[in-house]
Amino acid sequence: MQNFNFGQFTADSSPLRHVDPRVKILTVVVLSILIFQATIGEIVMISLFVGLVIWISRVSLQEIWGALKPIAVFAVLLFLLHLFFTEGRDISPIPLLPVRITYEGLENGFLVVWQFAALVTAGALLTMTTPPSTLVAALEKLLRPLKILRVPTQDLAVMVSMALRFVPTFSEEYNRMKTARIARGGDLKRKGLFRKLKAAISIVVPLILSAFRRADDLAAAMEARGYARGPRTTLSELRLTRIDFAALAVMVSFAGLTMMIRFIDF
C-alpha cells in the first residue's frame, strides 16, 4: 500500500470511472457544502452516503486510510484545540493542568475532525476514480462560463491537473529521501523540539529543491512539445449518458433529503 494516495488515479475497474467527471465534481461540491453545514442528524446521513459511495467505487479502506493518514496529526491537533479551549459546561477538571474539558469542546472537536476527514475522503474518491485527462476536460467545461470575464479557464484546469498529478510524486520523493537518510544513519525521531526541527529541515529543503527541478523540467517539456495558451481539442468529448443523469438525480435527492433532516426534531 502506498503511504499517500490522494491525487492518484488507482480505481481503474471502479464503476464510478464511467460516470461523467463533471457529475462527480458537482457531487463533491454539493457534499462540501452539506458537510460544512451539517448537524448531528446530517452527519449520520452524509457518513452513510460516503460509505455507500466507497463501497460502490470498489476503493479499498486501505487506500482511503492512505489518503487520510497524512492529515491524522493535524486532525488530532484540531480536536485537542477545540477540546481544551472551548468555553462551556465542564466535563471534569484535569488535576495539575490549567485546562478544562467541556461538552461543547468535545462536540466541536468531533465535528471539525469529521468535516476535515469527510472532505478529504470525498476529494480522494474523486481523484482515485477519475483519470487525470478527463478531470482536466471536466474542469475546463465547468469553468467555461468564466471566459466571459476573460478568465483563462483552460490554463486553470491544467494547473489543477498538474497539482493533483504531482502530489503523489512528491510523496514518493519524500519517502525515498526519508529512507535514504535512515540508511545513512540519520535519526529522524530525535528528542527535543530543536533537534526534530533540524531533522525535518534536512528533508524538507532537498524536497523543495527537487520540486523546483521538476517544475523546470516540466516547463521545458511543455515548451518542447509546443504547448501554448489558447483553444485546444480533447481526445474524447464528454457527453452525459443515462448513468450520469441517474447519478445527478441521486445527488439532488440526497441533498434534498439531507436538508429536510434540519426540520426534524431529534
Q: Does one domain contain both 130 and 256? A: yes
| Closest among 170, 194, 174, 198 to 186, alpha carbons compared | 198
Q: Does one domain contain both 14 and 66? A: yes
| Residues contacting 2, CB < 8 A, separation 6+ | 8, 66, 168, 171, 172
d(CA 135, CA 57): 17
d(CA 160, CA 58): 25
User: What does the pLDDT look like over 52-89, one tens digit per residue?
Assistant: 999 998 888 888 888 788 788 888 888 888 888 888 78
Q: What is the pLDDT of residue 105?
A: 84
Q: What is the pLDDT of residue 230?
A: 64
99 pLDDT higher than 50: yes
Q: Does one domain contain both 195 and 215? A: yes
Q: Retrieve residue 167's grid coordinates.
A: 502530489
Q: Does one domain contain both 3 and 120? A: yes
- Rounded to two decimals, what is the model's pTM? 0.73
Q: Does one domain contain both 203 and 72? A: no
User: What does the pLDDT look like over 126-158, one tens digit per residue?
Assistant: 888 888 778 878 888 888 888 788 877 777 877
| Closest among 44, 115, 42 to 75, alpha carbons compared | 115
Q: Does one domain contain both 179 and 140? A: no
Residues 53 and 123 sit within 8 Å (Cβ to Cβ): no
Q: What is the 3-state secondary structure (H, E, C) of the chain?
A: CCCCCCCCCCCCCCHHHHCCHHHHHHHHHHHHHHHHCCCHHHHHHHHHHHHHHHHHHCCCHHHHHHHHHHHHHHHHHHHHHHHHHCCCCEEEECCCCCCEEEHHHHHHHHHHHHHHHHHHHHHHHHHHCCCHHHHHHHHHHHCHHHHHHCCCHHHHHHHHHHHHHHHHHHHHHHHHHHHHHHHCCCCCCCCCHHHHHHHHHHHHHHHHHHHHHHHHHHHHHHHHCCCCCCCCCCCCCCCCCHHHHHHHHHHHHHHHHHHHHHHCCC
| Residues contacting 49, CB < 8 A, separation 6+ | 31, 254
Mean pLDDT of 246-264: 86
Q: Does one domain contain both 177 and 241? A: no
Classify residue 187 as left (phi > 0), alpha (psi -120 to 50) or beta.
beta
The segment with the largest mean pLDDT, out of 25-29, 256-260, 261-265, is 25-29
Q: Does one domain contain both 148 and 160? A: no
Mean pLDDT of 119-123: 90
Which amino acid, residue 119?
A: L
Q: Does one domain contain both 146 and 162? A: no
Q: Does one domain contain both 42 and 127? A: yes
The count of domains in the chain is: 2
Q: Does one domain contain both 129 and 36? A: yes
User: What does the pLDDT look like over 159-183, one tens digit per residue?
Assistant: 877 777 777 777 778 778 878 777 7
Q: Does one domain contain both 28 and 124? A: yes
* 231 pLDDT tier (thresholds 50, 70, 90): low
Lowest mean pLDDT among 65-69, 99-103, 191-195: 191-195
> Domain range spanning residue 218?
154-228
- Output b/e per residue, 176-194; b: 16+ Cβ within 10 A: ebbeebeeeeeeeeeeeee
- Compute CA distances 8 → 87, 115, 260, 265, whole Å: 41, 22, 35, 41
